[in-house]
Structure 1
Amino acid sequence: MTPLLGSLFIAVVYVGSSSELLTQMLRPPSRQQLGARIVELARESLGRPYRAFSLDKGHEKLQIDLTGFDCFLFVEQLLALARENTRTAFENRVRQLRYRGGFVDYCHRQHYFSRWSQQAEASNVLRDITPDLPGVRRRQRQLNFMSTHSKSYKPLRSERNLLCIQMLESDLMVQQSYIPLKRLPAVEPMLRDGDIFALVTSVPGLDVTHVGLVERGEHRVHGLHAAPSGGVIRSRDLSRYASGVADVIGVSFHRPLEP
């Protein structure tokens, strides 16, 4: 059991060999830049399988799975791993990133990347660098995909969860900045190892459809990400990769901040 929120105790559930992997992957304090640590951890994870909806099996709990990922959990857990150097600090960081107000509950989970990144920014964990990049565009977006596609989400079979999500999404609007696909090559020189990329979509009710990590190559910017088709992979040309994903209109970039 792990102490959280003062007198509140919750169980932390490790999937498979994740507890042992965490011990191997935790780094002692060092002067290495945060972005370099993130990329180093991502490289160690190459080849691990993709797991969709892995948090949606059973009652909501603080689940740690380093043996396989969806794209969101890949970014979230590696960001927490790179920032923290003890098990308890890592668990707390995941909780603070994953859940609104740190409260472990399905309705408090950050299901949309825009809301997740806003909370991380408020905690001085990330900074949205997209507005600083050339060619930026902006849009206002209503997020209601879960409410309008509730049959796609097993936990929304629960009336309590469904009503809560519907209430949250009734007026859920976000402001998004993104770089259009054609402008991506021009911003590549301004990106750093460990920056988070998010593929901005035209699908109604959604903000982004995929996220991953920037890795600088000798000539091009790569993407390290958990992909449904191949698990954790390296896409060697991020701009070309993003341009080939259906319904993507651009990319936003978010820079992890040093602790």
Structure 2
Amino acid sequence: MKSILYLVCFLSFSNLANSQIAYSPQDVAKWKQAFQSFHTQTDLPFAQLVVQTGKTWIGTPYVAHTLDKQPTEQLVVNLKELDCTTYVESMLAMGMALKEKDSSFQNYTNHLQQIRYRNGEVNGYGSRLHYFSDWLYENEKQGNLKVITDQLGGKPVPKPINFMSTHRAAYPALKSDEYFTQISQIEKEINTRTLLYIPKSEVSKIESKLKEGDIIAITTSIKGLDVVHVGFAVVQDKRIHLLHASLDEKKVVISKKPLAEYLLGNKNQAGIMVARVTQ
């Protein structure tokens, strides 16, 4: 996810909506294909539209860390290879563009940029929403979602968030003192907020309150880090599963196990934050 949870690769460059964007003709074609497939289903509830669209990307290869290979920060569009965060971002942006019944690639990329960057502006490495709890906070401010972890009985995350600044060598961009200072300041801001999560031992108790299309952000026991994985809740055999770009399976999948059991089988996964899309 972003530098923390792995990101997409870029293929070519163009100028759209006054910012440099990395994409390929195949990405444009994939967006056009998705629009043609779903433009008659735009009356579906937004969450359902996102899930139905997202399922068509099952089998898409998982590719990690590729955003940070760029020499400068740019909006990257890659619908051929996804990680967990870019999958969620891409499907949300696609759902928004479909709801507007606007087939232009620029409209899709406008939404993607608004979702991925603070205030929707690409302005260097620090403008990208690297920490997913920060991503949730900013997207809630924009009206894209509502964080409902508190309504589900969430408990405070028992640690400060500072993984990036305390692991500076792991992030090439943080060789820059300017970017390091920006990230450190963002961490301080995050730590003024009350972050809540549902411990994984309690997820089965609140499973009936989850809905298809809810964004499931998986928290971690790793020191200084908030979230290690993300996907969408989907119903399968009357249980909540996770629709996600899987690092283990190297592709977009629906988890074989229900979410509650999936979490219990992962040592470093502590629990979940939950957000409900509001379009």
TM-score, structure 1 normalization: 0.90
Aligned to 2:9: none
Cα distance in 1 for residues equivalent to 2:267 and 2:172: 25
Cα distance in 1 for residues equivalent to 2:25 and 2:246: 20
Letter in 1 for 2:67: L
- Work out whether 1:208 is the aligned partner of 2:227: yes
- Work out whether 1:241 is the aligned partner of 2:262: yes
- Work out whether 1:28 is the aligned partner of 2:48: no
Letter in 2 for 1:80: A
Cα distance in 2 for residues equivalent to 1:182 and 1:169: 28
Alpha-carbon deviation of 1:28?
2.7
CA deviation string 1:108-165 (max 9, x = no partner): 10000111111111111101122112x4322364221111111112222334323332
Cα distance in 1 for residues equivalent to 2:28 and 2:267: 36
Aligned to 1:84: 97
Number of equivalent positions:
252
Letter in 1 for 2:168: S
Cα distance in 2 for residues equivalent to 1:178 and 1:79: 22
* Most deviating of 13-22 and 209-218: 13-22
Cα distance in 2 for residues equivalent to 1:68 and 1:246: 27
- Work out whether 1:48 is the aligned partner of 2:60: yes
Letter in 2 for 1:75: V
CA deviation string 1:42-68 (max 9, x = no partner): 211111111111211112111111111
* Residue of 138, 153, 159 corresponding to 2:156: 138
Kept after mapping to 2: 8 A contact 1:16/1:65: no
Letter in 1 for 2:260: S
Alpha-carbon deviation of 1:218?
2.4
CA deviation string 1:82-108 (max 9, x = no partner): 111332222111111111122212111
Letter in 2 for 1:28: H
Q: Any unmatched runs of 5+ in structure 2? A: 1-14
Letter in 2 for 1:77: S
Cα distance in 1 for residues equivalent to 2:170 and 2:260: 30
Cα distance in 2 for residues equivalent to 1:65 and 1:88: 14
Alpha-carbon deviation of 1:169?
2.8
Alpha-carbon deviation of 1:11?
2.2
Aligned to 2:180: 162
Kept after mapping to 2: 8 A contact 1:140/1:175: no
* Residue of 58, 77, 87 corresponding to 1:74: 87
Aligned to 1:178: 197
Cα distance in 2 for residues equivalent to 1:156 and 1:33: 41
Kept after mapping to 1: 8 A contact 2:134/2:190: no
Alpha-carbon deviation of 1:250?
1.3
Q: Any unmatched runs of 5+ in structure 1? A: 4-8
Runs of 4+ in 1 over 4 A off after TM superposition: none
Q: Secondary structure at the match of 2:266?
A: coil
Aligned to 1:6: none
Cα distance in 2 for residues equivalent to 1:244 and 1:73: 24
Q: Secondary structure at the match of 1:47?
A: coil
Kept after mapping to 1: 8 A contact 2:61/2:81: yes
Q: Secondary structure at the match of 2:228?
A: strand
- Work out whether 1:250 is the aligned partner of 2:263: no
Instruction: Name the structure where strand makes up a greater proportion of residues.
Output: 1
- Work out whether 1:57 is the aligned partner of 2:69: yes
Relative to 1, partners in 2 of residues 1:171 and 1:178: Cα closer, same or farther, differing over 3 Å? closer
* Most deviating of 176-185 and 68-77: 176-185
